[in-house]
Amino acid sequence: MLNELLRLQHKNPKKVIGLMSGTSADGIDACLVEISGNGLHTRINVLVSETYPYDETTRTAILDTCNPETGTVDKVCQLNFHLGKLFANAATSIANKAHISIKDIDLIGSHGQTIYHLPNQTTMEKTEDRNQKSEVRSNESNSNTVDIDAFKKEMWDLPHIRSTLQIGEPSVIAQETGVTTVADFRPRDMAAGGQGAPLVPYVDFLLFRDKEKGRALQNIGGIANVTILPKNCSINDVIAFDTGPGNMIIDRITELVTNTTQHFDEGGKLAERGKIHDSLLATLLAHPYLSKPPPKTTGREEFGISFADNLYKDGTHSGIKDLDILATVTAFTARSIADSYKHWILPKHPLPEIILSGGGSHNDTLIKFLRQYLEPSIQIHTINKFGISPNAKEALAFAILANETISGNPNNIPSATGAREAVIMGKIIPGR
């Protein structure tokens, strides 16, 4: 294994596949790229990219497993291996699309599918208080009587431990493809005191820094996140955080207003027919996450299906029309992005351009709202400008992060995640 890792370290170029399944749980994004060098000397040539949609059964299983009320350990266990197979199939398919044998692929980098993400630690009840309560209950009760239900509740009345879980078993990927696989990137950053996200800013820094001008790399996936690269920046100058909701709320409201005949608002055509409800928008913008300063990260735990379902229920109960709700949540995503810039970025870092990626970059109504809420002087482009498909950007990122892991380079940015130090993220599973 050591000899193989040394071989991979020194091979130039490498053919690397990046795999990503985001919070929208709509499919696997795959990107095959040639990578030369590492660190600041990284050079890439994107060969091909593709999205492999999940079938409805798999998508439903993912969403059910992500829900604390329906997810069970047996479902997580089975889904972990099932997704591993699907990730392996995606890797083989993207290699075939490029007319390259999977045997000629050097490395796979897989983010996996996030099941749950708890970036912040909060204590429900201090340990010493819990112990005192146990002692009181013991003294008050009959010594021969044990309240099993109370005992179970007490045992699980633990602090909320900062943690994260991504599945899509990398051992299955490596076994099925025969290719060395790097996966499970987030935990190491969290072990170092970080929030485990965002991780793409490291790649943004390698690929998009510019000596002459500042840039914002805005990804609009299920959650929206931004990387700020000030003019002629060093890695310590990079600013990155999750701005808030991306497509997740929009997608769920689309499902509700179309009776699940559509899973997303293609081109924003439905939202375009609605009107923004000012009162509802103001209520949404009062969400506490939006006023929280960076570094910060969020996910479906705050802006997922439950949030959207309750929003839709309350909106319809108040007499708001379906398409008006959809238009309003689309504006909510755009406004939360723009307000993040106004509060945390533009006062210190003037930005001449924003580069968009992710599924939200295809939503014309969302982008129209974003242009309205931002200063007219800021140019907005898609990442197509750099020869990268908007849907492939994050998959590409995990190919590069895997290359950094193999090269022995720290690949997080502490200023973005809040980690105490830079660390090497990712677990290495040797191929066959």
Q: What is the pLDDT of residue 130?
A: 41
Helices (H), 291-432: 300-303, 305-317, 322-340, 364-373, 393-406, 414-417
For CA atoms 410, 413, 417, 421, the dihedral sign is positive
Topology at the third CATH level for domain 201-377? Nucleotidyltransferase; domain 5 (3.30.420)
pLDDT of residue 356: 97
Residue-by-residue pLDDT tens, the chain, 432 positions? 778 888 888 899 999 999 999 888 889 999 999 999 999 999 999 999 999 999 999 999 999 999 888 999 999 999 999 999 999 999 999 999 999 999 999 999 999 999 989 888 654 334 344 444 444 444 444 445 555 565 455 545 666 788 999 999 999 999 999 999 999 999 999 999 999 999 999 999 999 999 999 999 999 999 999 999 999 999 999 999 999 999 999 999 999 999 999 999 999 999 999 999 999 999 999 999 999 999 899 988 899 999 999 999 999 999 999 999 999 999 999 999 999 999 999 999 988 999 999 999 999 999 999 999 999 999 999 999 999 999 999 999 999 999 999 999 999 999 999 999 999 999 999 998
Angle 116-29-425 from CA coordinates, rounded to 5°: 55
Conformation bin of residue 283: beta by default, left when phi > 0, alpha when psi is -120 to 50: alpha
Fold of 2-121+163-194+399-408+421-429: Nucleotidyltransferase; domain 5 (3.30.420)
For residue 23, what pLDDT is reported?
A: 82
Q: What does the DSSP assignment read for 109-176?
A: EEEEEEEEEE-S-B-SS-HHHHHHHHHHHHHHS-TT---HHHHHHHHT---B--EEEEES-HHHHHHH
Q: Look at residue 153 in the predicted model and tell me its pLDDT.
A: 54
Separation of alpha carbons 138 and 228, rounded Å: 56
In terms of pTM, does the model score above 0.95? no
Beta partners for 380? 354
Rg (CA), the chain: 23
pLDDT at 183: 98
Distance CA 128, CA 134 (A): 10
Query: What's the pLDDT at 69?
Result: 86
pLDDT at 22: 86
Cα 226 to Cα 312: distance, rounded to the nearest angstrom: 27
Query: Please, what sign has the CA dihedral across residues 40, 170, 90, 70?
Result: negative
Taking residue 285's Cβ as centre, other Cβ atoms within 10 Å add up to: 15
Distances (CA, A) of 374 to 217, 263, 288, 351, 366: 15, 28, 22, 11, 12
